Amino acid sequence: MNQLKKNLGVLLFALTGSIGGAAIYDHVFTSDAKTPISVRQPVKLTNYATGAMPLDFTAAAENTVKTVVHVTTTYENKGNANGNLFMDPFGGLFFGQPNQRQAPKQQASGSGVIISEDGYIVTNNHVVEDASEVEVTMDDKRTYTAKVIGADPSTDLALLKIEEKGLPFATYGNSDQVKVGEWVLAVGNPFNLTSTVTAGIVSAKARNIHILEDQNLPPIESFIQTDAAVNPGNSGGALVNTSGDLVGINAAIASSTGSYSGYSFAIPVNIVKKVVDDLLEYGAVQRGFIGVSIRDIDATFAKEKDIKQLDGVYVNGLTESGAASSAGLKQGDIITKINGTTVKSSPELQELVGRYRPGDKIAVTVLRGNDEKNFTVTLRNKEGNTDVTKNEADVVNSLGAELTQATSQEKSKLGIDGGVKIKELNTGKLRNAGLKEGFIITSIDNKKVGSVDDVTSYLQNKKGGVLIEGVYPNGMRAYYGFGM
């Protein structure tokens, strides 16, 4: 009996201590808590019992490798221009390194992606620019000579063609649907190593890194940024999603060493499709312009202009009688959407507008003060109209002449400060108009001619009569007229 009382006493003491301890703990440790102590995050085990599967890139990689080619370019030696890395808009960081020997010809390399079964291949403009020969090697080691169909420096894209049928080709994806954090594969030929596959995630979209330059058109830089490892020679290769769909063309890396160090950049495939279609149909890219100068909105600028939101693109100015001005947009408007797609930055706006041609109508949504307004804007070309842009090569071919810069001796002898000389004359508009070899063109339609580029620029979109003025080597001045 005494033992029973003793046990009951111990039990009572223990129970009393437990209750007291709980009360003290609650008072000391949880009196300031905002949530009950019993609330906990659910624990998830890191196995695949719930049905999740590890990422598998094998199918996408296998299919893509067959569509990516090795592009080898040959250059005539012109004072080692192609060996000078400062001549490369990418600083030599992403272009296959030229042969450093002082040989009659130099070679460089990059990558390309087959986009049709009959041999059309897309690559970067900087891979094939100024090349005298372009050779393409397939994944199965077959080799072809490629023709450059056309190029667009403003997007750093070029279109090649080889004579073959039944080729494997990449399937276009939709770069608008690419999301930050999504897995992607980069496939190319770095360091002349064929068929190399690397994986990474999309780090950002609509990146502008200020590497493209084009004297004729403002560049479009709205890159997909990834951390997939790419290196010199990857230029023009494929960026694909895990389904194997082409979402971009690799173009550049951010590096101080010339090799991969964290980030790479790809041209969105929706821009690629537009450029390829234009080069096939017109021989030149048809760029539509909205006719505004723009700037991004940051916190400082928003405070200065009393803007209540940071999204959208601020209209800093308008081209007089341009597309936007004619449609009713005003300085100070904030462009928030193009055809219903939200615009958050200038690169996004440039990319969206860059998908359309002169004459196309787009829906532009703006915020004016506190009011949302919608406008229909008819895009125009850089000349301010809706005409189709001619291919420069077609312009030169129609003239039927090989043109070269007048030498300093010729200019001094003839008393001129510029001019372009007809080095060789073939069948074409200049011969038909009566011009002779040796004639130096000094002006076209009363505009001074200082270079061959001036000739193509003045005549590229010209319609109707053309007046050419110049001088022969004997000092005789002459005027000629013909139609374009």
Active site residues: 126, 156, 235
d(CA 43, CA 270): 42
Phi, psi of 323 (to 5 degrees): -60, -50
Angle, CA 57 vertex, CA 52 and CA 63 arms, to 5°: 140
d(CA 285, CA 276): 8
* Signed CA dihedral, 259, 262, 265, 266: sign only: positive
- Report the interhelical angle of 392-399 vs 452-459 (nearest 10°): 100
Phi, psi of 393 (to 5 degrees): -60, -35
Cα 441 to chain centroid, rounded:
36
Per the CB < 8 A criterion, the answer to whether 482 and 459 are in contact is no
Residue 20 CA: distances (Å) to CA of 83, 161, 404: 84, 86, 101
Single out the residue of 102, 49, 51, 114 nearest to residue 77, CA to CA: 102
Token pair of 290 as six digits: 């909205």
Burial class (CB in 10 A: 0-12, 13-18, 19+), 263: buried
- DSSP string over 351-384: HHHTTS-TT-EEEEEEEETTEEEEEEEE-B-TTS
Strand order in the sheet with 157-161: 143-145, 133-137, 68-76, 105-114, 120-123, 157-161, 147-152
Single out the residue of 318, 319, 295, 317 nearest to residue 307, CA to CA: 295
In 3-state terms, what secondary structure has residue 26? helix
Report DSSP state, residue 38: T
Per the CB < 8 A criterion, the answer to whether 373 and 366 are in contact is yes
- The dihedral over CA atoms of 319, 324, 325, 328, expressed in degrees to the nearest 10, equals -160
Which long-range contacts link 443-447 to residues 24+ away (Cβ below 8 Å)? 443/468, 443/469, 443/470, 444/468, 444/469
Residue 388 CA: distances (Å) to CA of 153, 267, 288, 382, 453: 18, 24, 10, 11, 19
Burial class (CB in 10 A: 0-12, 13-18, 19+), 340: exposed
d(CA 381, CA 374): 22
